[in-house]
Amino acid sequence: MNKKKKGIDAERELIHLFWKSGWAAHRIAGSGSSRYPSPDIIAGNALRRAAVECKITKESSKYFSQEEIISLQSFAQQFGAEAWIAIKFPKKEWFFMNLEDMKESGKMKMIDIALAEMKGLNLSQFLEMKAF
């Protein structure tokens, strides 16, 4: 399976989890290629809205370009949503990370398993948060 397909499958998996939990969620069309800032997924319920950048990796750490993070942040701000990274490492559940909790790594931002386990929320914790 190629990388893009794996990414989309991961997004779909997360979307199913949102709907199962009573949230509405969908993939954004052309996310990553749009001329406008964009998240991978938009999810919401009556009280909260979340713009989510969704990553799956075989490694124990994942790097993000500043552009990717700025695009997510800028969409979230303009749309009126919380900005989150959802990340899945091998044999781990999804972690939800705040952008402020990412590590700086040269020109990139980074999340590794240790950081995700320390600062990340699992899906239930994420869903149970109060509205910002």
Residues acting as catalytic residues: 31
- Per CB under 8 A, 34 contacts a second copy: yes
Question: What is the smallest separation between the CB atom of 88 and a second copy, expressed in angstroms?
Answer: 19
Phi, psi of 21 (to 5 degrees): -95, 10
Q: Which of 7, 17, 21, 23 binds a second copy (CB under 8 A)?
A: 23
- Per CB under 8 A, 80 contacts a second copy: yes
Spell out the residues 6+ positions from residue 12 whose beta carbon is closer than 8 angstroms to its own.
Answer: 27
Contact between residue 120 and residue 92 where contact means Cβ atoms under 8 Å apart: no
Sign of CA dihedral 48, 17, 123, 27: negative
- Per CB under 8 A, 89 contacts a second copy: no
- Tell me which residues touch a second copy (CB under 8 A): 15, 19, 22-31, 34, 36-38, 42-49, 75, 78-81
